[in-house]
Copies of this chain bind each other. A is one copy, B any other.
Amino acid sequence: MSSGNFKQELFSQFARVGKALGNANRLELLEFLAQGERGVEALAQVSSLSVANTSQHLQHLKQAGLVIGRKQGQQVLYRLAGDDVIALLDSLRRVAEQRLADVDRLVAQYLREKDSLEPVPATELLERARNGTVTVLDVRPAEEFAAGHLPGAINIPLAELEAHLNHFQLNEQVVAYCRGPYCVLAYDAVSRLREYGFKARRLEDGYPEWQLAGLPVERGS
Using CB atoms and an 8 Å cutoff, list the residues of chain A in contact with chain B.
Answer: 1, 3-4, 6-28, 48, 64-66, 81-82, 84-85, 87-88, 91-96, 98-100, 102-103, 106-107, 109-111, 182, 184
Contact = CB atoms under 8 A, between A and B. Distances in A.
Closest 5 CB pairs of A and B: A65-B99, A18-B21, A19-B22, A11-B24, A18-B22
Nearest to A94: B84
Contact of A98 (B15, B48, B84, B103): B84
A219 B170 CA distance: 57
Given A6-B110, A24-B11, A98-B82, A18 B92 contact: yes
B14 A27 contact: yes
Contact of A15 (B8, B27, B111): B27
A4 B183 CA distance: 11
Given A13-B102, A21-B22, 8 more contacts: A10-B103, A11-B27, A13-B103, A14-B21, A16-B96, A17-B96, A22-B22, A88-B95
Nearest to A109: B1
Contacts of A85: 95
Q: Which secondary structure characterizes the binding site on chain A? A: helix
Q: List the number of copies, as a whole number.
A: 2
A21 B12 CA distance: 10
A65 B3 contact: no
A95 B65 contact: yes
A221 to B, nearest CB: 26
Contacts of A107: 10
B18 A98 contact: no
A91 B93 contact: no
Contact of A95 (B3, B10, B15, B84): B84
A138 to B, nearest CB: 18
18 contacts: A6-B110, A7-B28, A10-B106, A13-B106, A14-B21, A14-B96, A15-B23, A15-B24, A17-B95, A17-B96, A18-B20, A18-B21, A18-B23, A19-B22, A20-B22, A65-B95, A84-B94, A91-B91
